[in-house]
């Protein structure tokens, strides 16, 4: 090995990394925000701390550190167009009832709980906002709706003049 090569590597090992402070800030900001920030937003945060640095440098340092922002999950879109027959709109947006068990409303709502989708199907009485029955499942299927309806119809008599509204 040449003498100059030896002294070159000896000298370069003693030189301090000029981006060490920035790397520490990048790690801190990245982990504070649980990996959700990309290089652009981390650049803004570091600039707010008083450092003047280019976003390309932040991107290069993040790649060097092995930090990559987590991609947000896409929102679930279940709409596939018009299917089946459309029932007439009897309520005409009149969501008030004069007595209990006169008007009920229902729908299926999707929740994201720790990365898992859950589907809630409640029936609400429009008289006082009381939940008549509900069903929770991991998939929106017909069985969920029928179980919810069976539970709710057990609570009323057969000759009740009831309107059940769903979109």
Per-residue pLDDT tens over the stretch 104-131: 888 888 888 888 889 999 999 888 888 8
Q: Does residue 95 fall inside a structural domain? A: no
Residue identified by tokens 């279940």 is 78
7 or 81, greater pLDDT: 7
Residue 79 resides in a domain? no
155 domain-assigned: yes
pLDDT 10s digits, 69-78: 887 777 777 7
In-domain check, residue 37: yes
* Statement to judge: residues 158 and 112 lie in one domain: yes
Residue at 25 is within a domain:
yes
| Enclosing domain of residue 35 | 18-71
User: Would the CA dihedral through 89, 94, 100, 106 be positive or negative?
Assistant: positive
For 30-78, write each residue's pLDDT tens digit: 999 989 899 999 999 999 999 999 999 999 999 999 999 887 777 777 7
Indicate the SS3 state at residue 113.
strand
Whether residues 107 and 67 share a domain: the answer is: no
Q: Is residue 49 part of a domain?
A: yes
Threshold 0.85, pTM exceeds: no
Domain shared by 67 and 113, yes or no: no
Last residue of a domain, one of 48, 71, 94: 71
In a domain, 11, yes or no: no
Q: Under 8 Å CB-to-CB from 167, ≥6 apart: which residues?
A: 107
**How many domains, in total, are found in the chain?**
2
Residue 92: the pLDDT is 76
Contact 118, 139 (CB under 8 A): no
110 and 65 within one domain = no
Rounded Cα–Cα distance for residues 62 and 90 (Å): 58
């Amino acid at each position: 090995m040449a003498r100059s090569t030896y002294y070159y590597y000896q000298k370069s090992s003693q030189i301090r990394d000029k981006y060490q402070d920035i790397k520490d800030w990048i790690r801190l900001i990245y982990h504070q925000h649980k990996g959700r920030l990309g290089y652009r937003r981390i650049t803004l945060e570091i600039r707010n701390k008083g450092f003047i640095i280019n976003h390309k440098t932040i991107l290069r340092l993040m790649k060097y550190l092995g930090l990559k922002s987590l991609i947000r999950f896409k929102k679930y879109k279940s709409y596939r167009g018009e299917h089946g027959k459309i029932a007439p709109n009897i309520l005409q947006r009149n969501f008030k009832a004069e007595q209990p068990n006169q008007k009920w409303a229902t729908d299926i709502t999707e929740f994201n709980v720790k990365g898992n989708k859950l589907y809630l199907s409640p029936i609400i009485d429009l008289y006082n906002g009381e939940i008549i029955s509900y069903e929770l499942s991991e998939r929106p299927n017909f069985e969920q709706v029928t179980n919810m309806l069976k539970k709710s119809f057990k609570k009323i008599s057969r000759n009740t003049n009831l309107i059940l509204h769903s979109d």
